[in-house]
Chains A and B, each alone.
Chain A
């Protein structure tokens, strides 16, 4: 499905992608700063902090890894924890795949590296609206990655000088996720899926440590949605 203006690389595509990404960048800023501060306190050098943000690019797992390093956890436990914490991206990439049909293998390889909770939800919303190609989405992924990298290095440099909670910036990311959730509520079935997933996630998160609740609740809720969809259709409103 070709999107007008998105069939090839152009400055316009890069401008549109980069220009749209600012809410994600704003959301990453306080978390990146906080990560830099924590990592620096844990004894990581500035180069190591930047390298981790560039290579791993997955916030919560980086916090966990640093705290495990502090506790002198071994090499293997850190890797296994990182893997399980980030396994949820499997679901997101599966849902994104359909929008990357026309992308070459190399571009797909580059795209995969930038799939995060935020870039995923953000791009899925724009893909659905149309007028958004995989090139736009790729730009969003990498601009967000740069924001994450830059803010964590800034945090490592002198993030402790910035008072935490300034301007309510800690809420930029939750507010963005709330709004992206609102965009996804396209009909009754989606609302039910959201409620099932959210409530299941709350209960599972209390029972199980770690963040496996995201995957479990999402699979349960999407499956519920599939069955409801067979019974009553999506109830999607025409927009």
Chain B
């Protein structure tokens, strides 16, 4: 087996373990209520921590950059999502809004 395939397999293994182990161990356990509550906040926390830096930072090394079409398009996309509560609709509308925003940013 060539070097690159072995490397990919190792990458796969170290990616898989953190995905699998909590599922395996926690799905069989009765979790204490505080942990259930804590985990209930994880989705909203993860989503926000993924989205906001992508909208307001840029460059390498990273720095604040708020003049971005990504950020300008995020506000109407957010409003659209709040009003319609439609995932597919927001994806399509977001694409259109971003397309327009890029035109404006030139």
Contacts and interface: CB of A to CB of B under 8 A. Distances in A.
B7 A221 contact: no
Given A100-B27, A170-B98, A181 B48 contact: yes
Contacts of A90: 18-19, 21-22
Interface stretch (A5-13, A110-118, A143-151, A153-161): A110-118
Most B C-beta atoms less than 10 A away, residue of A79, A83, A171, A180: A171
Nearest to B98: A171
B78 interface: yes
Interface residues of A, number: 95
Given A51-B8, A194-B48, A23 B91 contact: yes
Contacts of A93: 18-23, 26
Contacts of A78: 7, 11
Most A C-beta atoms less than 10 A away, residue of B38, B86, B100: B38
A170 B81 CA distance: 18
Interface in A127-141: none
Most A C-beta atoms less than 10 A away, residue of B3, B11, B62: B11
Contacts of B78: 178, 182
A94 B49 CA distance: 17
A162 interface: no
Interface string B40-76: 1111111111111111110001111000001001100
Contacts of B81: 175, 178-179, 182
Interface in A192-218: 193-202, 205-206, 209, 213-214, 217-218
Secondary structure type dominating chain B contacts: helix
A174 B15 CA distance: 23
A101 interface: yes
Contacts, number: 283
Contacts of B21: 90, 93, 112
B14 interface: yes
Contacts of A205: 53, 57, 62
A117 B48 CA distance: 11
Contacts of A182: 78, 81-82, 85, 90
B4 A174 contact: no
Contacts of B4: 44, 48, 69
A12 to B, nearest CB: 20
B42 A171 contact: no
Nearest to B51: A177
Given A174-B51, A209-B61, A112 B19 contact: yes
A201 B53 contact: yes
Contacts of B3: 75
B8 A48 contact: yes
Contacts of A226: 34, 37-38, 41
A152 B5 CA distance: 17
13 contacts: A65-B7, A65-B11, A86-B15, A91-B42, A94-B26, A112-B16, A175-B81, A194-B48, A197-B49, A202-B53, A206-B64, A214-B50, A217-B49
3 closest Cβ pairs, A-B complex: A175-B94, A112-B20, A168-B99
